[in-house]
């Protein structure tokens, strides 16, 4: 019974308060009718498809109302706790590997049950190379929970700097049968080419719904000295010259 003036706006509040880490689906349906209750005239009322879901048709064949349907997906996100960032530190022009363990709480088991005989990690090659990888966590032989994960950065500039310097691979996954908490262990490879300090976020998303975010910090310290150049003076007020070569690693 809400009246809406011509060219008016209507705000429809949607409240989402999930109790489990799974995706919820709903549909917001808006039914608009003329204020005077009359039907909208339609020239070809005899040919009007009564199965058309975007309109409601009266008995005499006129258009009684117009329907707008908006699907809503509610995806819960784990509370942003004050987690200590996982620090990956490496000297510039060196390479380091570090294992990072994350805990996923509130995962709903069996929401997309699939027969699986063993744990597996599968790369989804239908997506761009910088997007997520697909992870399957199996409990027994009947329930498979699938995840997507990726590293996100604060800006595209930081992403372009770190994308080729950081590698991430899942090496272990398991579920606690009592608490239901899933543990994912990643192997992070960091090979910086210059000193830097950048933040990132490891984002894990369950295909049944639910997102977990874990802060990361990548620190590259000063590299080792390449060489020591000694310049020996040939006398007071006289120039001494030493030649040395510099090679650029890029164009």
Q: pTM of this prediction?
A: 0.66
CA–CA gap between residue 96 and residue 188 (Å, rounded):
8
| CATH architecture, domain defined by 77-110+146-224 | Sandwich (2.60)
φ, ψ of residue 47 in degrees (nearest 5): -95, 0
Residue ranges per domain, the chain? Answer: 24-44+51-74, 77-110+146-224
Mean pLDDT of the chain: 80
List the beta strands (DSSP E) in 105-195. Answer: 120-122, 133-139, 143-153, 166-175, 182-190
Question: Cα(130)–Cα(153) distance, rounded to whole angstroms?
Answer: 12
CA distances from 176 to 3, 37, 109, 182, 248 (A): 54, 60, 12, 6, 51
Q: What residues contact 220, with CB distance under 8 A and at least 6 apart?
A: 89, 90, 91, 92, 190, 192, 194, 195, 196, 197
Residue 194 pLDDT > 80, yes or no? yes
Res. 64: pLDDT tops 60 = yes
| CB of 89 closer than 8 Å to CB of 197 | no
Whole-number Å distance between alpha carbons of 64 and 74: 32
pLDDT (0 to 100) of residue 100:
94
Predicted pLDDT of residue 140 = 35
**159's tokens:** 């992403």
Convert the pLDDT of each residue in 92-112 to its tens digit. 999 999 999 999 887 765 544
Tens-place pLDDT, residues 16-36:
998 888 889 999 999 999 888
Instruction: Tell me the average pLDDT across 230-241.
Output: 92
Rounded Cα gap, residues 177 and 23, in angstroms = 22
Q: Is the pLDDT of residue 131 over 70?
A: no
Query: To the nearest 10°, the Cα dihedral for 88, 89, 91, 94?
Result: -30
């Amino acid at each position: 019974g809400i009246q809406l003036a011509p060219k008016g706006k209507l705000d429809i509040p949607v409240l989402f308060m999930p109790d489990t880490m799974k995706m919820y689906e709903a549909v917001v349906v808006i039914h608009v009718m003329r204020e005077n209750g009359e039907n909208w005239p339609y020239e070809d009322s005899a040919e009007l498809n009564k199965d058309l879901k975007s309109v409601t048709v009266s008995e005499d064949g006129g258009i009684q109302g117009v329907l707008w349907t908006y699907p809503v997906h509610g995806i819960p996100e784990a509370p942003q706790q004050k987690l200590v960032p996982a620090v990956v530190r490496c000297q510039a022009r060196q390479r380091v590997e570090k294992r990072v363990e994350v805990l996923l709480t509130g995962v709903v088991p069996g929401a997309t049950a699939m027969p699986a005989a063993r744990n597996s990690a599968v790369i989804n090659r239908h997506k761009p190379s910088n997007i997520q990888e697909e992870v399957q966590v199996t409990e027994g032989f009947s329930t498979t929970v699938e995840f997507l994960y990726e590293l996100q950065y604060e800006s595209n500039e930081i992403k372009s700097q770190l994308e080729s310097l950081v590698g991430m691979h899942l090496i272990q996954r398991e579920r606690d049968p009592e608490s239901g908490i899933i543990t994912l262990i990643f192997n992070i490879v960091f090979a910086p080419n210059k000193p830097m300090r950048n933040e990132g976020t490891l984002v894990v998303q369950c295909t049944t719904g639910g997102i977990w975010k874990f802060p990361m910090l990548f620190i590259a310290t000063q590299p080792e000295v390449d060489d020591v150049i000694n310049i020996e003076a040939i006398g007071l007020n006289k120039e001494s010259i030493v030649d040395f070569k510099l090679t650029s690693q890029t164009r």
